[in-house]
Structure formats: C-alpha cells, structure tokens
Amino acid sequence: MSLLRSFVQDADARDPLARFRDRFVISSGSIYMDGNSLGRLPSSAVARASELLEKGWGEKLVEGWHEWIDFPTQIGDQIAGLIGAGKSEVIVCDSTSVNLFKLAMAAVGSKPHRGAIVTDSANFPSDQYVLHGVAHQTGRELRRFESDPIQGPDIGSLAMALDDDVALVSLSHVGYKNASLADMEAITRAVHDAGALMLWDLCHSVGALPIDVEGCGVDLAVGCTYKYLNAGPGAPAFLYVRRELHDQLRQPIWGWFGQREQFRMNLDYDPEPGIGSFMVGTPPIVSMVGVEEGVRLILEAGIESLRIKSIEMTQMMIALHDEWLAPLGVELASPREADRRGSHLAFRHPDGYRICKALIEKLDVIPDFREPDIIRYAVAPIYTTFTEAWDAMERLRTCIDEELYADLLEDRDRVT
Ligand SMILES: *Cc1c(COP(=O)(O)O)cnc(C)c1O
C-alpha cells in the first residue's frame, strides 16, 4: 500500500519546524534535494551581508576591523555549540581542505616517529589528496583501508590498517556518497588505543545531526559551512582542536593572523596561545556573516528536532524506494538503520547520470550525481518539506519508469 501524498501533507501541517522554511529565499518551484552540496540562502543573510557591505565596508572602512577581528572566534564559539566543543576550541577560517592540511600536518608533526597516515578509500577526494600530500611531504605512507560500501568505516575494517606506526587517522563522520554515519566514539577510542590522533571531517554531519566531539574524545575536526549550515558558496570552514592539544600542536602555515599581537608586526613568528594559532591570513568577512546567520538558524531550530525530522523523512523515502524504485532496478546504497546514516540517501542505477540530468531538465527536481552511478537525494529538514521529499521520489519513479532520460547524453558536465 502506497504512502499517500495526503498523508505526507498532513505531516507537513503538523511539523513544528515548518515555520523555518519561510526564513529562506525560495525563488523557484523546483524541489531542491541538494542541500548537502550547497544549502539554501537564509533571508537574514541577505540583510546582514548588505548591511556589512554598505555600513561596514562602505562607511566604516578599515575601522570596521575593530569589530570584524573577533568574527572567527565568535562564530567558532557558536559552531562549538553544534558539535559539542567548548569555548575557544573552534575557529572559522580558510576552506575545509586547507584546514585539513593544517591539522594533519600539525598532528603528524607531533608524532615524529610514526610513519603512517590512515584513511578509508571511500573518503572524499579532497581529503584523499590532502592526506596523500601530507604523507608525501613528510615522508610518510598513506594507508587506505576498504570500508563497507554501504555501512562505511568501522573499527573492524579500520583494525586492518591500525598499528603502532600510525600517527593520524582521518575519516569522514558521514560518508559523502553513501551517507554512512561512523561510530565516532568507538573509532576515536580505537585510534587512541593505538597511540594515534583522530581527525574527523564533519562536512556532511554538522548541522544535520547532533555531534559530541568532547564526549567522544575527538582530537581534531574540520567541517564546511555551506552544506547543512547554509552559509553560502565558498563560505569559510571551521576547525576544532581539543584544548589540551592547543599548545602541543604547531600548524604549518605561519601567517600574521596566527601571530601573538599581530599588529606589533614583529619579525619572528610567535604563535598566539590557543585556537588562534590555527589561523593564517585575513578572513573573508562578507562570507563570515553568512556563516553566522546560517548557524544561528540551525541553533534556533534545534539540532535534535532537525535530526528527528530528517530521520522521519529519509525513513519515508526508503519505504517509497522499496515500493516504487527497487522493482525498477534502483538499489539503495545507504544504511537502512536510521542511526547509521546522515541526512541524504544514495540511490544507484546504471543510468544514474542521465537520470539526474532528466530530473533537473524535465522534472524540476535538483539532486546531484556522484560517480559512478549514484543519485544523491538530501533532505535539509530546516527547509525541505515532507511533500517535497515524496514528490522527489515520485518523479524519480516516473523518470525511470518512462525512461525520460533516454534522449540525454552520458557526457559529464564540468560540475555534477
Ligand atoms: C564538501 C566537502 C569538502 C569540501 O572541501 P572544500 O575545501 O570546502 O572545497 C571536504 N571534505 C568533505 C568530506 C566534504 O564533504
């Protein structure tokens, strides 16, 4: 028996988070299922950014820096509230890739006699390249282990790669393809038992589900702000360093924003104590207000409530997959257990790429495609409705059933 559209419309009517949708700019009728790639624009960010441009940059000019200089730590403290970190343990700066490089270099530098860095082969490409680069530049080996293609990395698969030569393990908390949610606590403990440091990439989990870095004993973490935190394209990322490590780790890019009393303009590098030493150069202030507004909205909605709604939505979509899509040759490539997955679902189909294109061009649904055959559907419970999720599934069924992709080409666009 099909889950009726009227049933999900009722769910929207009863949804306590429904009012947050109006806080976003929604200018077309398209169903947006790609909030894990680029979140929607909060209306308040438009006002904040134009105020910053006109009143800040336009009127205050360089005097604005008296206020802006504290943005990285102030907004970092707000993000700390989303990931279970303490005050002055998170800072907003640079991109995720650059922050990963800084923290990975700092971590291996603190373990000079250990010659390996570990990740799994399902980790995000930029993480692979950065970790490979760190290994290469420091004369280490990058060990990649194979994690389960659906369930993601766990202590069993990690154990194959872990020994007392490992300096650092770095993994994604939620897998970018399959949405597998790793057991942060158990994996971090296993890594510590081997005497290594643990660096988590929170890109696909921050803003989508509760995180407790402190409770899990996490050493280091990075994450981006333009996915579930809705901070805008290219908005700066964040990094977390456990307080006890602040003075033990030294990051590799010595810039003036990491310098103690930077405006003394001293000749020799003398890092700021604490999290500030992980900064490098001038932060992008216009984008920073996007981070602040995005984070503020997630905090206001409440990460626990968002997680509940996200699970309800993905659970419903899995039920619809089983009924509508599985008979058409679609395979669910995400964990079925709600507590093992993030806020998106991966559907595999041999014609996945053309199906994605047809959804965008003919059916007004915006998913994204990940090689080789994965259609990703993300729900961002702060603005995605149950009805949208239902409709997106129904249109996917129509697309495949009626082969609406048949006339499209396999040639990949530059951005998928
Ligand atoms: C999105 C994402 C990134 C993005 O890195 P940028 O430096 O912001 O381009 C990195 N790692 C993971 C796991 C991601 O999902």
If you measure from the C-alpha of residue 120 to the centroid of ligand 1, how many angstroms do you get, rounded to a whole number?
16
If you measure from the C-alpha of residue 96 to the centroid of ligand 1, how many angstroms do you get, rounded to a whole number?
6
pLDDT in tens, 186-206: 999 999 999 999 999 999 999
For residue 331, which of 350, 354, 311 has the smallest C-alpha distance?
350
If you measure from the C-alpha of residue 349 to the centroid of ligand 1, how many angstroms do you get, rounded to a whole number?
25
Query: Confidence class of residue 399 from pLDDT cuts 50, 70 and 90?
Result: very high
Count of other CB atoms within 10 angstroms of residue 62: 8
Query: Confidence class of residue 346 from pLDDT cuts 50, 70 and 90?
Result: very high
Computed on alpha carbons and rounded to an integer, the radius of gyration of the chain in Å comes to 22
Query: Confidence class of residue 255 from pLDDT cuts 50, 70 and 90?
Result: very high
Mutate to test the pocket of ligand 1, among 93, 97, 206, 225 (most ligand atoms within 8 A of CB): 97
Count of other CB atoms within 10 angstroms of residue 178: 27
Strands 90-92 and 238-241: antiparallel
pLDDT in tens, 175-185: 999 999 999 99
Q: If DSSP codes are grouped into helix, strand and coil, which group holds residue 116?
A: strand
pLDDT of residue 412: 86
pLDDT in tens, 89-125: 999 999 999 999 999 999 999 999 999 999 999 999 9
Q: If DSSP codes are grouped into helix, strand and coil, which group holds residue 207?
A: coil
For residue 262, pLDDT beyond 60: yes
Query: Confidence class of residue 1 from pLDDT cuts 50, 70 and 90?
Result: low
Where do we find the tokens 């420091």?
138
For 312, the enclosing helix (H) or strand (E) is: helix 303-320
Q: Are 337 and 148 in contact (CB under 8 A)?
A: no
CA-proximal residue: ligand 1, atom 1 (nearest): 203
For residue 127, pLDDT beyond 70: yes
If you measure from the C-alpha of residue 203 to the centroid of ligand 1, how many angstroms do you get, rounded to a whole number?
6
Percent of the chain with pLDDT over 90: 97
Q: Is 224 in the pocket of ligand 1 (CB under 6 A)?
A: yes
Strands 365-366 and 31-32: parallel
Q: Is 204 in the pocket of ligand 1 (CB under 6 A)?
A: yes
Q: Is 176 in the pocket of ligand 1 (CB under 6 A)?
A: yes
pLDDT in tens, 205-245: 999 999 999 999 999 999 999 999 999 999 999 999 999 99
Q: What does the alpha-carbon distance between residue 88 and residue 179 come to, in Å, rounded to a whole number?
A: 30
Mean predicted confidence (pLDDT) in 287-310: 98
- Kindly give the number of the ligand 1 atom that is closest to the alpha carbon of 172: 13
**What are 192-197's contacts with CB under 8 Å, separation 24+?**
192/217, 194/162, 194/163, 194/164, 194/166, 195/114, 195/164, 195/166, 196/111, 196/114, 196/118, 196/162, 196/166, 196/167, 196/168, 196/169, 197/107, 197/110, 197/111, 197/167, 197/168, 197/169
Where do we find the tokens 């990740």?
119
pLDDT of residue 215: 98
pLDDT in tens, 23-41: 999 999 999 999 999 999 9
pLDDT in tens, 37-95: 999 999 999 999 999 999 999 999 999 999 999 999 999 999 999 999 999 999 999 99
For residue 248, pLDDT beyond 60: yes
pTM above threshold 0.75: yes
Mean pLDDT of the chain: 97
Q: Is 127 in the pocket of ligand 1 (CB under 6 A)?
A: yes
